[in-house]
Structure 1
Amino acid sequence: MRKTIVMLLAIMLLPLTCLAGGKKQGKTFTVLQWNIWQEGTMVKGGYEAILNELERLRPDYVTFSEVRNYRDDFIARVCKDMAKRGVVYYGFRSDDTGLLSSTPITAHKTVFPLKDDHGSIYKLETKVCGRKLALYTSHLDYLNDTYYEVRGVDGNTFKEMEPLTDVDEILRRNALSMRDKAIANFLKEAKRDHERGFITIIGGDFNEPSVQDWTEQTRNMYDHHGVVIAWPQTTALIKAGFNDCYRTVHPNVLTHPGFTFPSDNPDVDPRKLTWAPKSDERDRIDYLFFRGKGIKVTECKLFGPEGNIAYAKRVPLGTDEPIITPLATWPTDHKGVLATFVVE
């Protein structure tokens, strides 16, 4: 009898999408990447807004950026507070980034530890829809941000400078960050996932644009100043066989730029949302990448206000991109990315 009750409880905790899936429809689950801006502390009511949106969207998995543990163990607090709302998540203590899982975690580890605020990567292992899943959260180094230097803002001090347009020099300076090392650590661990038959998904704020976005088509847009460049982190992931969820579903960079930063926030002065007030700094720096047999992404939407910041001013989205708008308070200066996956 006791064993039966335990089995029933376990079934009740499984994502409903997986239970509903059949051979014809497949099995689905969702992942949300969300930079929550110092865990929601920068906006009045930010923490409650995080809980409210999680309760509404109920993503199966969440990859957070900017977890700070200011008051206590942030992930433990979210799990506890969401349980009060009838939504079960599992997690573990982490710094700078964080993970939530709707399915029991079988293992977790630090892949790139936080040191001097240069970013972090954490991993959990679980099972979803009968498959082994390795889920990573990442927040890469925010310094030596040379995509800002293209726009005339120093990538360390964020003071004005002459726009940097020499590609070799851009890449040389960019390599001074810790982003290369973090992604190298991830790819080494992801190789083990592949060998063990895991689906691998990484979400994160990379603090670096995409090789798929700074192209010939966009060289004279968004203050790119004619620069076409293979940004290293996304290039490395694509070469390793990973797919960018947003670009897989929305390949047209002109109709679907997918900007995630800086996002408009109606409760915050635009001057506090910008790093380059004299530039159009809109970019896509928040991602979900995936790799694995028998998995595909069917939907990928932006999550946040219908607007961005350019030249320190609020500007409309200006595209027909799919976006989930907030219930009320928006807790951050980024947009999130929500993807739906199908497992065959």
Structure 2
Amino acid sequence: MTRNEDEVGSPAARELRVLAFNTWHSGSKVAHGTELIADLIISTRASIVLLSEATHATMAVAAELARRGHEFNTVSSPDTGILTVFPIEDSADLRWMVKARLNIDGRRLTVYSAHLEFRWYASNLPRGYGPGVPPPDEFAEYNFEKMPGGPVTDPAVIQRANAASGRPEVIRAFLADAKTEVAQVSSIIMAGDLNEPSMLDWTPATANMFDHNGVTVAWESTRLLHEAGFIDAYRSMYPDPATHPGLTWPSDNAEVDVAELAWAPEADERDRVDFVFARGTALTLSTVGIVGPRTSIVRGTRQPETTSDNFAESPSRWCSDHKGILATYRFTD
């Protein structure tokens, strides 16, 4: 049946169930990927779905949901997509993000689905691997391979490689666009795969974990978001990155060879690169959790996660190399 008003909340205080999910080549890496994405949306009861790596996924998933009696409105760009049960008033393709203005009981919520540049993956450097950059940029000779000189632990060098990705500039452009939305009395949710860790995760508490090799980094993209008042859903609920690291990549996938799931086979490259951010006094975070397998890839092997992280759901079949994030908000006047 089609989702009705009671299923997504009352006009006085809506429950918004926000799912951020990297579909991994539109769900094409495993059999029946489109159906698995639809399964996930239905099982999590998501009312706003923000997809990345979704070149062909958004419309296909919407059609599959409609076939099962679940109607979602959609916005799609070449790489990102939005599905929502709420009316869409307007939308725009921002290249690295797609945005939609939603009308929720006469109130505006603007949502952005993001998928940023995957190259210049600077968090590889402390782990002794190349960041995957084209010539003539620094470290280009290593691609994503192990570097003979070992880990790069100078934060200034790491930040320089990260800035070359253009990801911080994309976030600056997003913040400028979001500022115009806030001026029009809109609350904001931005989510997706940033392909960059959080400044709240590479801290002294984790300096000797996950092959950070003693490095602490105030990663620029999340630093800009935090300074602009955007709240990281998972880290706001679980502030300790040592006990609740919230690792989303590389996720295990039992149906895919390990060699396809990770880039640094001799390192612990686990990171939290998938996020849900929100800004607006009308939004109150209720719950947030990881969605996906309770196993990850560590040094080229499948290993169970032993952290204290909150898993909202772990489906029996998985179609991605990332884990997703499910955040529930109360949306009030």
TM superposition score normalised by structure 1: 0.89
- The answer for the alignment partner of 2:46 in structure 1 is 59
Shift of 1:323: 0.9
The answer as to 2:93 corresponding to 1:110 is yes
Question: How far apart are the structure 2 equivalents of 1:46 and 1:77?
Answer: 10
The answer as to 2:188 corresponding to 1:205 is no
TM superposition score normalised by structure 2: 0.92
Q: Secondary structure at the match of 1:180?
A: helix
The answer as to 2:161 corresponding to 1:170 is no
Question: How far apart are the structure 1 equivalents of 2:226 and 2:198?
Answer: 10
- The answer for the alignment partner of 1:3 in structure 2 is none
- The answer for the alignment partner of 1:142 in structure 2 is 118
Shift of 1:15: 6.1
Q: Secondary structure at the match of 1:337?
A: strand
> 1:15–1:102: 8 Å Cα contact kept in structure 2?
no
Percent identical among aligned pairs is 36
The answer as to 2:70 corresponding to 1:87 is yes
- The answer for the alignment partner of 1:191 in structure 2 is 179
Question: Against the structure 1 CA distance between its residues 296 and 325, is the aligned structure 2 distance closer, same or farther, given a 3 Å change threshold?
Answer: closer
> 1:14–1:103: 8 Å Cα contact kept in structure 2?
no
Match of 2:31 among 16, 24, 44: 44
> 2:114–2:190: 8 Å Cα contact kept in structure 1?
yes
The aligned runs of 1:206-225 (5 Å cut-off) are 206-225=194-213
Q: Which residue type is aligned with residue 16 of structure 1? A: E
Match of 1:182 among 161, 170, 190: 170
Shift of 1:293: 1.7
Q: Which residue type is aligned with residue 88 of structure 1? A: E
The aligned runs of 1:8-19 (5 Å cut-off) are 13-14=4-5, 16-19=7-10
- The answer for the alignment partner of 1:158 in structure 2 is 144
Question: Against the structure 1 CA distance between its residues 56 and 213, is the aligned structure 2 distance closer, same or farther, given a 3 Å change threshold?
Answer: same
Return 51-60 or 249-258, whichever deviates more. 51-60
Question: How far apart are the structure 2 equivalents of 1:192 and 1:128?
Answer: 19
Shift of 1:108: 0.1
Question: How far apart are the structure 1 equivalents of 2:221 and 2:315?
Answer: 33
Shift of 1:328: 2.8
- The answer for the alignment partner of 2:140 in structure 1 is none
> 1:15–1:29: 8 Å Cα contact kept in structure 2?
no
Long gaps (5+) in structure 2: 133-142
Question: Against the structure 1 CA distance between its residues 15 and 238, is the aligned structure 2 distance closer, same or farther, given a 3 Å change threshold?
Answer: farther
Long gaps (5+) in structure 1: 1-9, 114-119
Q: Secondary structure at the match of 1:213?
A: coil
CA RMSD of aligned residues (A): 1.6
Question: Against the structure 1 CA distance between its residues 15 and 198, is the aligned structure 2 distance closer, same or farther, given a 3 Å change threshold?
Answer: farther
> 1:129–1:343: 8 Å Cα contact kept in structure 2?
no
Question: How far apart are the structure 2 equivalents of 1:108 and 1:150?
Answer: 39
Question: How far apart are the structure 2 equivalents of 1:143 and 1:15?
Answer: 43
Q: How many residue pairs get matched?
A: 319
Shift of 1:130: 4.4
- The answer for the alignment partner of 1:132 in structure 2 is 108
Question: Against the structure 1 CA distance between its residues 327 and 167, is the aligned structure 2 distance closer, same or farther, given a 3 Å change threshold?
Answer: closer
> 2:52–2:113: 8 Å Cα contact kept in structure 1?
yes
The answer as to 2:284 corresponding to 1:296 is yes
> 1:13–1:88: 8 Å Cα contact kept in structure 2?
no
Shift of 1:204: 0.8
Question: Against the structure 1 CA distance between its residues 75 and 191, is the aligned structure 2 distance closer, same or farther, given a 3 Å change threshold?
Answer: same
Q: Which residue type is aligned with residue 303 of structure 1? A: V
Question: How far apart are the structure 1 equivalents of 2:6 and 2:277?
Answer: 21
Shift of 1:128: 2.4
Question: How far apart are the structure 2 equivalents of 1:296 and 1:203?
Answer: 16
